[in-house]
Amino acid sequence: MGTCYLGERADMRAAEKDALARGVALGMGLLDTAEMYGDGAAELLIGDMLRSRSLRRADVTIVTKVCPCNASPPTLYKSCDASLARLGAECIDLYLLHWRDGSVALPEMVGGMEELVSRGKIRRWGVSNFDVADMEELFRAPHGDRCAANQILYHLGSRGAEFDLLPWLAKHGVAAMAYCPLAQGGQMRRTTPDFLTEPTLRNLAGKYNVSIFQILLAFVLRSGNICAIPKAASIRHIEENASAPTLAAAISSEDWAALEAAYPPPSHKMHLDMD
Residue 32 vs 116, nearer CB to ligand NAP: 32
Sequence-distant (6+) residues with CB within 8 A of 237 are: 19, 213
Query: Helices then strands (H, E): number in the chain?
Result: 12, 7
- Supply the minimum distance, in Å, between the C-beta of residue 237 and ligand NAP: 4
- Supply the minimum distance, in Å, between the C-beta of residue 160 and ligand NAP: 15
Residue 106 vs 152, nearer CB to ligand NAP: 152
Give 246: exposed, middle or buried? Use CB within 10 Å, 0-12, 13-18, 19+.
Answer: exposed
Residue 138 vs 229, nearer CB to ligand NAP: 229
- Supply the minimum distance, in Å, between the C-beta of residue 28 and ligand NAP: 11
- Supply the minimum distance, in Å, between the C-beta of residue 241 and ligand NAP: 5
Do residues 158 and 273 touch, judged by C-beta distance below 8 A? Answer: yes
Strand partners for 231: 2
- Supply the minimum distance, in Å, between the C-beta of residue 117 and ligand NAP: 21
Sequence-distant (6+) residues with CB within 8 A of 172 are: 135, 139, 145
> What is the binding site for ligand NAP (CB under 6 A)?
2-4, 32, 98-99, 128-129, 151, 179-185, 211, 213, 229-234, 237, 240-241, 275
Residue 70 vs 129, nearer CB to ligand NAP: 129
Residue 4 vs 44, nearer CB to ligand NAP: 4
Residue 54 vs 98, nearer CB to ligand NAP: 98
DSSP character at residue 160: G
- Supply the minimum distance, in Å, between the C-beta of residue 46 and ligand NAP: 11
The residue with its CB nearest to ligand NAP is 2
The whole-angstrom separation of Cα 235 and Cα 220 is: 21
The whole-angstrom separation of Cα 88 and Cα 57 is: 10
Residue 171 parent element (H or E):
helix 165-171
Do residues 96 and 125 touch, judged by C-beta distance below 8 A? Answer: yes
- Supply the minimum distance, in Å, between the C-beta of residue 157 and ligand NAP: 11
Compute the C-alpha angle 73/135/245, nearest 5°: 105
Long-range contacts of 143-146, Cβ-Cβ distance < 8 Å, separation of 24 or more: 143/110, 143/111, 143/114, 144/106, 144/107, 144/110, 145/172, 146/110, 146/114
Residue 86 vs 98, nearer CB to ligand NAP: 98
